[in-house]
Amino acid sequence: MQSQDSVIKIYDRWGNIYDFFFKRVFREGRDVGVRMLDLKPGETLLEVGVGTGLSLPLYPRHNKITGIDISSKMLDKAGEKIAEHRLTNIDLEVMDAQSMNFPDNSFDCVTACYVVSAAPDPLKVVSEVCRVCKPGGRIVFINHFKSRNPLLALFETLINGVCKKFGWETTVDLDALLVANNLSPRAHEKVNMFDYWQAVLAINPDK
């Protein structure tokens, strides 16, 4: 398991170059995630791991959006996008997704884009997402999860050590995360290059 400090250092380094590498690669996933959320007027949204804010211009302006990230350097870039697009409905905070400062049931919807596998403890992230989301609220995860194909899963295990140096895991088990938090998928789509990533919509259960 990576330490929190190592994750912060990795993503601080990514801050200035993240958009160059991943803006187009992950665009489909961001679009699908916004569609799955289907935000209604007046609903509040938390984006966990907002990063450089690539998804922020895609959200409706009639919703209050809060974005958190562990990397202040990534949030600096997100702040530039907020200013560029004049997004007055968005707040950003430096915060650990594994231990959020928000009260229980704070948001109507929560999305976590490409962050679950980047955290030292993915289970804590998903648990916190469920805690701060209202009962019956919509939760969207966009992430790479461990393949159900045995040969591909073996390959992912073999390359996991290298991928961790770049800031993410390749062996996070989606089913285990959902079962541990009593989440049942309502929609599930493969997205991005080679359909290697997944967009998953779930409804937060009553607590």
What pTM was estimated for this model as a whole? Answer: 0.88
Report the alpha-carbon distance of residue 130 to residue 134 in Å, rounded: 8
Q: Which domain holds residue 25?
A: 4-203
What domain count does the chain have? 1
Strand order in the sheet with 185-191: 90-94, 64-69, 44-48, 107-113, 133-143, 197-203, 185-191
| SS3 state of residue 56 | helix
Q: The tokens of 124 are what? A: 């804590």
- Dump pLDDT digits (tens) for 122-138: 999 999 999 999 999 99
Choose between 158 and 184: higher pLDDT: 184
Q: So what's the pLDDT on residue 123?
A: 94
| SS3 state of residue 190 | strand
- Dump pLDDT digits (tens) for 26-65: 899 999 999 999 999 999 999 999 999 999 999 999 999 9
CATH code where residue 86 lies: 3.40.50.150
